[in-house]
Amino acid sequence: MKKVRGFMLLAGLFAAFVSANAQRNIAEATIVYDMVIQTGNNTPQSGGALTGATTTVYLKGNNSRTDMASTLGKEVTIYNSKTNNAVILKEFSGQKLMITLSKENWIAKNKMYSNIKFELTGESKIIGGYNTKKAIAKMADGKTFEVYYTPELVPNNKEYDHTFSNLPGLAVQYEIESGKMRFRYTLASINYDPVPVSLFDFPTSGYRTMTYEENQNLKKGN
51 domain-assigned: yes
Percent of the chain with pLDDT over 90: 64
**Per-residue pLDDT, 50:** 60
**Per-residue pLDDT, 180:** 74
**Per-residue pLDDT, 36:** 87
20 domain-assigned: no
Domain holding 95: CATH number?
A: 2.50.20.10
59 domain-assigned: yes
**In whole angstroms, what is the distance from residue 172 CA to residue 196 CA?**
24
pLDDT digits (tens, 9 = 90+) for 156-186: 998 899 899 999 999 999 998 877 778 899 9
pTM score of the predicted model: 0.83
**Per-residue pLDDT, 88:** 97
**Per-residue pLDDT, 178:** 73
pLDDT digits (tens, 9 = 90+) for 95-148: 999 999 999 999 999 988 888 999 999 999 999 999 999 999 999 888 899 999
Asked if 49 and 71 touch (Cβ cutoff 8 Å), the reply is yes
14 domain-assigned: no
pLDDT digits (tens, 9 = 90+) for 189-211: 999 999 999 999 999 999 999 99
**In whole angstroms, what is the distance from residue 184 CA to residue 207 CA?**
31
pLDDT digits (tens, 9 = 90+) for 9-66: 554 444 444 444 478 999 999 999 999 876 554 554 544 456 678 999 999 999 999 9
195 domain-assigned: yes
How many domains does one find in the chain? Answer: 1
12 domain-assigned: no
1 domain-assigned: no
**Per-residue pLDDT, 222:** 58
- Domain span including residue 134: 25-220
124 domain-assigned: yes
Query: Average pLDDT for residues 74-98, to the nearest whole number?
Result: 94
Is pLDDT above 50 for 77? yes
**In whole angstroms, what is the distance from residue 153 CA to residue 155 CA?**
7
**Per-residue pLDDT, 18:** 41
**Per-residue pLDDT, 21:** 46
